[in-house]
Structure 1
Amino acid sequence: MSEWVQIGEEIVGRHRPTYVIGEIGINHNGDVAVAKKLIDVAALAGAQAVKFQKRTPDIATPEDMKHTRRETPWGEMSYLEYRYKVEFETEQYAEIAAHAAAQGVDWFASPWDVPSVQFLEDMGVSTHKVASASVTDHELLRELASTGKPIILSTGMSTLEQIDAAVEILGTEKLIVLHATSTYPLPPEEANLRTIPVLAERYGVPVGYSGHERGLQISLAAVALGAVAVERHITLDRTMWGSDQAASLEPHGFMSLTRDIRVLEKAMGDGVKRVMPGEHKPMQRLRRDTSTVGA
């Protein structure tokens, strides 16, 4: 078990700056130029990292969906063809990695299958993210554990027993757990933020929050409840084509989120009740102390 986990040059855990992740996912729609612009957004906002998704489409696409026809910006095609259309390979990720490094932002991804783990290892990522959909993919979890890298585990659509089994495989030495609800977009009544301290107590590891809601309030409340990391989907425009765009933050929203997280960090304090420096003059001017009268 560990109170802190190092990811790249960042220390993630209690009493550290909240680790903010801009989830690009597949909101780039297969366009490296869009991916770079989203990295720029994350860097300008002050986020420490961006995250992508990595699939081997032939493996990660369910058999019953491979030949389903789908309307896309490139015309009608099978779901499998669409998956290949939005997938980056080595050349594109090398370009993305260089751009992220130039902007001072770390990058990593959620691998959705075993070959994708090795692909990301070859790219030299500092950590791996387990998507909520992969919590019960024990073959994938064992492959991730074998890398020895820090692991960020999202817990959407999972029971405690399923999370227990995943944590047993991954270990707790370099693990960060993210509370999440996999409803897109997330209604407030399904956020269940009080789960954050429950997970921290149960697993003894840093716990953060991966949000799919509209707006900022729920993510900020997660930080107030102890989330050490916040992950939010980002987009250039919520009206862009793609299943995750509507539940994403546009540039101004993401910059507002990171700004407000930093303000909230300062406001949380240390929990020790005392007279603050700014209170001394008002106290002298306004307070009438009769505590010693009649003593």
Structure 2
Amino acid sequence: MFDKLIKIGRYDISINNPTFLIAEIGSNFDGSFDRAKKLIKDAKDCGAQVAKFQSFKTEKIISANNFGKSSFQKNWDQSVGEVYKSAEFPLDWMLELKQYTEELGLEFMSSPYDLNALDELVKIGVSCIKIGSGEISNPEFLKLAAETKLPIILATGAASLSEIDEAMNIFDKSRNSKIILLQCITQYPTQFQYANIRTIETYRQTYGCIVGYSDHTPGLAVPLGSVALGARVIEKHFTDDKSRKGPDHPFAMDLLDFKEMSEQIRNLEKALGNSWKKIEACEEETIILQRRGLVTTQKIYKGEPITKENSTLLRPQKGILPKDVQNVLGKMLNKDLDAETPIRWEDIT
């Protein structure tokens, strides 16, 4: 069984807690320590709970000579190997950036893509390990990550259910129950028809774990739809300028985008409410204003009967309720009532 409540740093993650928003800075720091700090601060200002990077050495993640360019890499000016090299996030930056991130009230994360990076993240005391989709078929790496006993957020882009089963079995055998599964589509950007948000329902029903979405579609539709279906972790690529050169800038959210997403998710969380239908406090006045009550259509004198001809049902509901009208027709008034006067029970003999 996997935990329904997971603590990541200062944040509690569960279906009953606010959605955990990850600003995936990734390579968008553009090789600059100062830009990395700026983007962390920007993420804080835009409503994120996490500033996230990616930790790898090019020679430990790709065989550059064996790469052509895929559909989303075809517009890169440099070779795949050169792009990866320029996107490396130095391990010796992590401790200082983690401390800065936490001073701002955020959690620091960086997806490790080799064992040195995983070891360094554990050494500096991160609160969670985020594993990218590409490592889901790497069982030894998953096992070592699970054995840290830290919460694991696993993205599942381009993975089959059988591969996800294998990963979850590794976590289970490693006795790590703090697992969050993210639906993800590894195409940048992703077209809406491939987003398949409802996969998160399958994950929740199959594994009983906390679920979320690592999203590469434009805009807010997929994050909002995911939260409505129960996602409690949302990850989006983040930049301060979509026009900058680099592989991740064009499809990332900028500051205005991310802030709007954060605000709209918080509004949605309030709007979702719970499954109980009740009269809300804000509706109490409209119960009277929008419902009908029995009212006179002409002056009726004491001792005269109430009829369909001298009464009707009109808003606001100040008179006898529509459901009781048949019980009062033919009854006598005990006082004179002017036209357009509500007829109340105390007015009837």
The TM-score with structure 1 as length reference comes to 0.92
Find out whether 1:150 has 2:182 as its counterpart: no
Find out whether 1:8 has 2:12 as its counterpart: no
Q: 2:256: which partner in 1?
A: 252
SS in structure 1 opposite 2:240? Answer: coil
SS in structure 2 opposite 1:177? Answer: strand
How many residues were matched structurally?
292
Distance 1:94 1:2 in 2: 29
Q: CA deviation at 1:149?
A: 0.6
Distance 1:87 1:247 in 2: 19
Q: CA deviation at 1:21?
A: 0.5
Q: CA deviation at 1:85?
A: 3.4
Find out whether 1:294 has 2:326 as its counterpart: yes
SS in structure 2 opposite 1:292? Answer: helix
Q: 1:128: which partner in 2?
A: 129
Distance 2:101 2:208 in 1: 31
Larger proportion of helix: 1
- Counterpart contact for 1:65–1:79, Cα < 8 Å: no
Deviates more, 1:19-28 or 1:168-177: 168-177
SS in structure 1 opposite 2:196? Answer: coil
Q: Deviations over 1:95-144 (max 9, x none)?
A: 31122122111111111122221121122211101101111111210110
SS in structure 2 opposite 1:279? Answer: helix
Q: Deviations over 1:232-285 (max 9, x none)?
A: 000111111122212210011101111111111100001111111111111112
Distance 1:293 1:26 in 2: 71
Q: How does 1:1-295 map to 2 (within 5 A)?
A: 1-62=2-63, 64-65=65-66, 79-80=80-81, 82-171=83-172, 173-288=177-292, 289-294=321-326
Q: Deviations over 1:124-177 (max 9, x none)?
A: 211101101111111210110111110001011111001010111123610011
Task: Check 1:81–1:294 CA distance in 2 against 1; reply closer, same or farther (3 A cut).
Answer: same
Distance 2:57 2:28 in 1: 18
- Counterpart contact for 1:20–1:231, Cα < 8 Å: yes
SS in structure 1 opposite 2:323? Answer: coil
Q: 2:295: which partner in 1?
A: none
- Counterpart contact for 2:64–2:81, Cα < 8 Å: no
Task: Check 1:132–1:142 CA distance in 2 against 1; reply closer, same or farther (3 A cut).
Answer: same
Identity %: 33
> Which letter maps to 1:118?
D
- Counterpart contact for 2:55–2:91, Cα < 8 Å: no
Q: CA deviation at 1:63?
A: 5.0
Unmatched 5+ residue regions in structure 1? none
RMSD: 2.3
SS in structure 1 opposite 2:203? Answer: helix
Distance 2:119 2:111 in 1: 12
The TM-score with structure 2 as length reference comes to 0.78
> Which letter maps to 1:224?
A
- Counterpart contact for 1:56–1:115, Cα < 8 Å: no
Q: CA deviation at 1:41?
A: 1.4
Distance 2:137 2:91 in 1: 28
Task: Check 1:110–1:224 CA distance in 2 against 1; reply closer, same or farther (3 A cut).
Answer: same
* Higher relative contact order (Cα pairs below 8 Å, separated by 6+ residues): 1
Unmatched 5+ residue regions in structure 2? 293-320, 328-349
Deviates more, 1:151-160 or 1:46-55: 46-55
> Which letter maps to 2:169?
E
Q: CA deviation at 1:89?
A: 2.5
Distance 1:27 1:63 in 2: 21
Q: Which has the larger radius of gyration?
A: 2
